Amino acid sequence: MTNGLLISESDFKVLDENLEELIRVTQSRSAVLINKSGALILAKGQFNYVPPDDMSVMAAGAFSALGNMVDLAATHITTSFHYAHAETIHFCVITPQVFVLLLYESSPGETKPKTEQIIHASNKFAEKVRPILEKKNTFVPNVASFNFINDKINEIFKVS
């Protein structure tokens, strides 16, 4: 169990295999499956500078901020940094509670096709793993501190 999230061993194996496949298909450096509160669910790939658990917390904050900027209308957000050797960050919402973050490199000439490939592959990933993450017993009720923090995060980022 991770911060109120309960996943069976067989379901975890399916998540693991699908995240590995997502990295392979997209040729991403790394992928992180994250609860919106910042709890790391699963990480795959290479993490050179930032440990996956730190990345998940930072990604949850960044995703919330970006989500507010685009009025929470998008299910995909891609950010590009226009300087040499910067990686692109792609967020994809899996469920209202969970999203995946991909880190990948693309050269200026391949940015649009690469982004389209990432969106297509992450949509397929979401379709495959969403049933697991939406199972009735995946989020455990009565985890007091987790529910309190989750409610506060929802209040902070609530669109008026």
Question: Would you list the DSSP string of 78-108?
Answer: EE---STTPPEEEEEESSSSEEEEEEE---G
User: Is residue 58 a contact partner of residue 50, using CB atoms and an 8 Å limit?
Assistant: yes
Per-residue pLDDT 10s for the chain (160 aa) are: 444 567 889 999 999 999 999 999 999 999 999 988 888 999 999 988 888 888 888 888 887 777 666 655 556 666 655 555 667 888 898 988 899 999 888 777 777 788 889 999 999 999 999 999 988 555 555 444 556 666 667 777 766 5
Can you give the length of the chain in residues? Answer: 160
Strand partners, 88: 104
pTM, to two decimals:
0.73
Distance (Å, rounded) from C-alpha 66 to C-alpha 45? 24
Q: Which domains does the chain have, with CATH numbers?
A: 9-156 (3.30.450.30)
Q: How would you classify the pairing of strands 88-93 and 76-79?
A: antiparallel
Instruction: Give the model's pLDDT for residue 59.
Output: 86
